[in-house]
Every structure is written in structure tokens, then in C-alpha cells.
Structure 1
Amino acid sequence: MKLGLAEVYNPSMLPTLRPGDQLLLGYGARVRPGDVVVVRHPFQHDLLIVKRAAERRGGGWWVVGDNPMVTNDSREFGVVPDGLVVARAVLRLRPPLRHQRSAVSVLGWLPSSVRPLRARSRRLRAR
């Protein structure tokens, strides 16, 4: 499995991911329902988007954002074919906030700065 980094740019995965978060990606990693994945947008193949793989449907993945207010997911464009799934997110790396300069604030930030991204344990509903 090859590894790489990607940055989150929009709020579609809030609260799990915030704009500015970095993702450690596993290229060629097996995708399971509930995993956070990077896919090529079905209508704009040069645009990479981060979504949650909700379920398998007809040769692809139904992907949804964690933020129900953002509908740029399979509710808008349908199933994402397997060939457009680029990678699975393994870790979230959260940069410190600009105001975190004291040792106390950095120590408070540190435990939450790196988190594994595991599949959600509860069954996802494909909206």
C-alpha cells in the first residue's frame, strides 16, 4: 500500500474533518462501509473529494458527507464507480490553531491532533 497526504478544504465532513486537516491516505487500501475515502468527482474527474463510503451499490460506492447541510455527495451525483475511488484515509492530522502558542494549549491540542479514521461502528443510512 502506498501512502500519501491530502488536505481537507471544505466543510462537507464536519464534525469528523475540518478544513485545514491533513489526511494520511492509503492508496490501494481496501474500502469498507464507514471508511473515509478520497474519490474523483463523477462529473469533474480532476476534482478530488473526501466522503464516507456508506455502502456498496451496483459496482461502486454510495458516498456521503458527515455534514448533512452539504449535499455534494451521492445524493447529488449518485454512485461513485470503483475506478474513481482514489484512496482510504487512515489518519487525520489536525494542525494547531493559530492562538495555541503556550505550552499548556499545545499540550491540550496534542492528544487530539492525530486520530485514526476508522469506519463508524453504527450502521450508516444511505440518505
Structure 2
Amino acid sequence: MRRWRRVAVRGPSMSPTLADGDVVLARFGAPVRRGDVVLVRWSARPGQLSVKRAVRPEGAGWWVLGDNPYGSTDSGLLGPAEVLAVVGARLWPTPHRLRRTPDRG
């Protein structure tokens, strides 16, 4: 069974793709592919959820990066992340599907 959830984006890490305050639709149980925007958590910060870009599988998790290299705390600092859901669309303020990007790493 696949579940959907609205998620509010906080911070500048996914700029220019997503901005602080955007609301996105995350699909739990969806297969992850390189370049997908994903909802993740790190073992070092289990209470924090983050929206990042999936770069490559790494061990039991994924190496993920923010689209904004100057304003993102991501796998470069925290290591591989557990992907919880794939983000398929921005719902607010301007609804649109999110595109996968080419491999970054």
C-alpha cells in the first residue's frame, strides 16, 4: 500500500528547485531512482526529516545532496540517509511536478 503525505519545506537547501515554505507531496513506498527529490532522515538526527536529491545508493541508504551547494546540510556532512518517500510534486505555492536531475556524483 502506498501512502501520500504533504510536507512543508524548511530552509534554502533545495533552492532553486524548492523554496522555504513550499508544500510538496511525498509518496511513501515508491521506488527511489537517481535524481529523485526525496524525504530522508539520518541516524545521527533521527528526529529531523529533510528534503534532498538522491544521488546514489550508499550501503543501506542513499547519498543525498541539497540543490543549493552553499546552503545545505546533507550527506557531505551526515553520511548516507534513509529515504522515507519520493517527492513527486510541489503543491504550493505554484503546483507542478518535480523533475529528476542527471547524476551528480
Q: Counting helix residues as a fraction of each chain, which structure ranks higher? A: 1
Structure 1, unaligned runs of 5 or more: 96-112
Letter aligned with residue 115 of structure 1: H
**Aligned residue number for residue 117 of structure 1:** 98
- TM-score, normalization by structure 2: 0.92
The CA RMSD measured in Å over matched residues stands at 1.2
**Aligned residue number for residue 72 of structure 1:** 73
Structure 2, unaligned runs of 5 or more: none
Q: Counting strand residues as a fraction of each chain, which structure ranks higher? A: 2
**Aligned residue number for residue 49 of structure 2:** 48
- Equivalent residue in structure 2 for 1:92, among 85, 90, 93: 90
Q: Partner of 1:12: helix, strand, or coil?
A: coil
- The separation in 2 between residues aligned to 1:71 and 1:65, in whole angstroms, is 5
Q: Which has the larger displacement, 26-35 or 52-61?
A: 52-61
Letter aligned with residue 78 of structure 2: F
> What is the aligned-residue identity percentage?
43
CA contact (8 A) 2:13 2:66 kept: yes
- The separation in 2 between residues aligned to 1:66 and 1:117, in whole angstroms, is 13
- The separation in 2 between residues aligned to 1:33 and 1:49, in whole angstroms, is 17
- State how many pairs are aligned: 104
**Superposition deviation, residue 125 in structure 1:** 2.1
**Superposition deviation, residue 12 in structure 1:** 0.2
Question: Quick check: which has more Rg, 1 or 2?
Answer: 1
- TM-score, normalization by structure 1: 0.77
